[in-house]
Amino acid sequence: MQERLRTARIVTLTVLSATAAIVSATGGWIMLAAAAVAVLAVAIGGIRLEQRRRPELWVFVSTILVLQLVLAFGALVSGGPRSLAPNLLAIPVLMVAARFSNRGLVVGAPISAVLVLAVTLGADPAYVAAHPASLVVPLALVICSAAYVSPLVASDVRHRADSTLDQLTGLLNRRALGPRFAEIAEQAVLTDQPVSVVLADLDHFKSINDRFGHSVGDAVLRDVAYAMRRSLRTFELLYRLGGEEFALLLPGAAEDDATRIAQALRVAVEELETAGLRITCSFGVATARGGEIALESLVARADAALYAAKRHGRNRVERADAAALATA
């Protein structure tokens, strides 16, 4: 969402800066300084975000949390409950909803609510007692913003998951492979690291469906997917391409490493017993580096290696270079 929200961030910061300038007659230069801190925090929060290990935490702390504290400080120095500034604390609720799932909203919205209480009731309880709207109105804005945005966030997350997750196995699907591969390929070119693709295909899967029915076949696919995924590390990405075919994307893995990982997956499947059946799987491995990294060519080479594994007896791993030599 970083790039998609660029215009929204600019508009928000511009409006908040203009607001600070207008009310600076009450808060003095402190309001302008607070606005400058907010702008600086948002700017820092967007620097090299894609290269950070936990970008979501960086965004939350540098942008959302800092902005909430700056707005609370601005509301306090501009009069607390005597001003309209506490209403602005509803803005971070919308910002956190645009960046995070409902887990982020569950954290961000209460922070805004607590800050509303602090800058109104905490700052001048006597005034709030005499003018309850000074607390109720900004608190209602925070609560209602969170209440209405929450189902929209949940719906958006569910829609994205439905479009990129295989419903049977819970793995990423073919649609998710292209965008992720493009990111990995770009990084690999910059760092001169290899990228490997492993294709896997269950042996004699059609006969399982024909003999035992599709419900058993579905159970086999789920168990095989779980067994393979359990054998992988977090950054080793497993996809179900459709039917009984899977793909494994291995950033930074040379052909020897990818072959070793494929062998581990082959053993994991071979040792699996599901629905009273023993299952085996064949694998094809292909690797590229630098300018040769392209999804279509890697998949085509891995596919040729996979069919070589099928021809050579199944339940084995074949490398693209070996398969090419055998064909030649």
Residue 29 CA to residue 287 CA, distance in Å, equals: 60
| Residue 39, pLDDT score | 74
pTM of structure: 0.55
| pLDDT for the residue numbered 297 | 93
Residue type, 95: M
Averages of pLDDT over each 10 residues, the chain, 328 residues:
70 79 67 75 65 68 78 85 89 81 84 94 94 95 90 70 77 88 88 93 93 92 94 88 93 93 96 88 94 90 95 95 51
> How much is the pLDDT for 167?
84
Q: What's the pLDDT at 328? A: 39
244, 273, 296, 318: the catalytic one is 244
Q: Has 271 been annotated as catalytic? A: no
What's the pLDDT score for residue 54? 67
Q: What is the pLDDT of residue 141?
A: 93
CB 258 within 8 A of CB 287: yes
> How much is the pLDDT for 26?
57
